[in-house]
Amino acid sequence: MFSQMKSVLKLKKLAENPVDLTDAKVFNSERIHEMVIKGVGFQLLYAAERVSQDVLNALYDLAKEAKAKEKMMAMQAGAIMNKIHGFESENRSVLHTAMRDFFENPQREPEAAKATEKARVEFKKLERFLEKIEGKFSDLIQIGIGGSDLGPRALYIAMQAFQRPDRKVHFISNVDPDDANSILNQVDLKKTLVVVVSKSGTTLETLTNEEFVRQRMLKMGLNPKEHFVAVTGEKSPMDDPSKYLASFYMWDYVGGRYSATSMVGGVTLAFALGISGFLEILKGAHDMDHHALTADIPTNLPLVSALLGIWNRNFLHLPTVAVIPYSQALLRFPAHLQQLDMESNGKRIDQTGTVVDFSTGPVIWGEPGTNGQHSFYQLIHQGTDIVPLEFVGFKKSQYIQDLEIEKTLSQEKLLSNLFAQSVALATGKKNANPNKTFLGNRPNRILLGERLDPYSLGALLSFYEHKVAYQGFIWGINSFDQEGVQLGKVLASKFVSLFQAKRQKVEAPSFIGDAYLDFIFKK
């Protein structure tokens, strides 16, 4: 188990005395120049983490001891990684990387090669479909929830600077009727394509919203079959091409939260950006997959980021991580990462079914900078809990227009704020007035890219997917299932039946739900 590893014991010792970033002899320009690694157009600057070379060496040993890279290799080759040994579990390969592996033709393991071939068929189908509908639709509504919503939505919002001017995308996810109604009020359904995304084809929210929109179309005298597209698992209850203009497939070896580069995100992103824009996202993701697989431990961007996260979580005992993109386009990216990380690594047993005696995934949250600076940064600078930060920034803005105001461009002001926060959090500031004292030693790192475009967005998405997977590999947990969401789903369906029974005034099996529904039905 993780906690018994030799390198873990060494790291525990080292954590008794982490480096002091408030010491000007420690945190200086030499350190900033040294503590950087590069790949796929990104640089990871980690001088403001509380690590010394000894700590880094012990972290690299930890990656070796946990066989992190071997597991990454096994995952990308199609081995059964989604498994709890000795217990009933999903028992599946984990092959989201195969969804974007069709650029060159290297030797591939048969399982991965088969998955790539299937993905290629769907991609070609999408290309033909988009040609067929050219000029027919101005808007697209994607209906889906969780993994069938968050990733595609975050990516679409991030890429609005590159979208076709004649097209617009909307999302409906919540079963709250206000969600569907507010979107339906914004579009002309006659010119709207509706993409229903559900891997299982059974999700209450998605099926309800699909029917909601279908009914509205029928009421307007439109034929839903001419507007509705399905993205679902083969043979799922939604796999009924007779009801849809087109049907696209995904497979059980692509987890919901890892599915943005499959057809789950593909139909919407290609509609908005054109097929070439979607292809660029896939290229960027593929190049980061390759980097995660082949770069040595000390220069491997997602692996080093995973290790720094483990240092903060397991050795400095910091329970949350804030991801702060200094890029307005990444507005919803933290929400995607929240699911990706917390659903993957929010686990209390390891892959042998044993309860772990160490901390696993932290609470992930975040908002774009500089906006966050004017709200929750107070706690980050002076609160009683230390919050490690992962900053994401870009040298250039997405739109070409920028303006020199007071002798600097807005992009320069944005980056100045990012760097200022990184330094301020690391070094702090002494002051005789306790209310103006900054203790410093708030760990943070910066992932710096050139410009947020489709290629770098794909790479960024894959960077985080592999950071999460690497942490799971090192902790020895299964990052690819989500049993923790089941109990609530089962109970919700009991409540739904109870609502129906109460409204129709018929008997229903009694359970704790009766007490709650009294608040709805009894005056």
Residue numbers at the binding site for ligand G6Q (CB under 6 A): 145-148, 198-200, 203, 206, 255-257, 343, 482
Closest CB to ligand G6Q among 82 and 312?
A: 82
In angstroms, what is the minimal distance from the CB of 334 to ligand G6Q? Answer: 16
DSSP one-letter code for 238: T
Please confirm, yes or no, whether 374 is among the known catalytic residues.
yes
Q: How far apart are CA 269 and CA 198, in angstroms?
A: 16
In angstroms, what is the minimal distance from the CB of 79 to ligand G6Q? Answer: 19
Query: Which whole-number Å values give the CA distances from 500 to 10, 494, 504, in the listed order?
Result: 59, 10, 6
Q: How far apart are CA 158 and CA 169, in angstroms?
A: 12
Closest CB to ligand G6Q among 411 and 479?
A: 479
Q: How far apart are CA 345 and CA 325, in angstroms?
A: 22
Please confirm, yes or no, whether 170 is among the known catalytic residues.
no
Closest CB to ligand G6Q among 202 and 416?
A: 202
Q: How far apart are CA 447 and CA 37, in angstroms?
A: 10
SS3 state at 352: coil
Q: How far apart are CA 168 and CA 157, in angstroms?
A: 11
DSSP string, 75-125: HHHT-EEE--TTS----EE--GGGGG--SS-----HHHHHHHHHHHHHHHH
In angstroms, what is the minimal distance from the CB of 343 to ligand G6Q? Answer: 6
Closest CB to ligand G6Q among 76 and 206?
A: 206
Left (φ > 0), alpha (ψ -120 to 50) or beta: where does 250 sit?
beta
Find, among 39, 479, 465, 481, the residue nearest to 261 by Cα: 465
Characterize the bridge pairing of strands 320-325 and 363-365.
Answer: parallel
Residues shown for the chain: 523
In angstroms, what is the minimal distance from the CB of 335 to ligand G6Q? Answer: 12
Closest CB to ligand G6Q among 343 and 390?
A: 343
SS3 state at 228: strand
Closest CB to ligand G6Q among 116 and 198?
A: 198
Within a 13 Å sphere around the CA of 284, how many CA atoms are in the beta-carbon half?
Answer: 26
Closest CB to ligand G6Q among 147 and 334?
A: 147
Pair 337, 366: CB distance under 8 Å: yes
Q: How far apart are CA 263 and CA 249, in angstroms?
A: 7
Name the active-site residue from 374, 505, 522, 523: 374
- Other Cβ atoms less than 10 A from the Cβ of 519: the count is 7
Name the active-site residue from 210, 280, 343, 465: 343
Residue with tokens 């919203």: 209
Find, among 336, 435, 294, the residue nearest to 378 by Cα: 435
In angstroms, what is the minimal distance from the CB of 331 to ligand G6Q? Answer: 20
Contacts of 205 (CB under 8 A, 6+ apart): 145, 173, 174, 175
Closest CB to ligand G6Q among 485 and 520?
A: 485
In angstroms, what is the minimal distance from the CB of 154 to ligand G6Q? Answer: 13
Amino acid in position 222: L
DSSP one-letter code for 3: G
Helix (H) or strand (E) holding 72: helix 68-77
Active-site residue numbers? Answer: 343, 374, 489
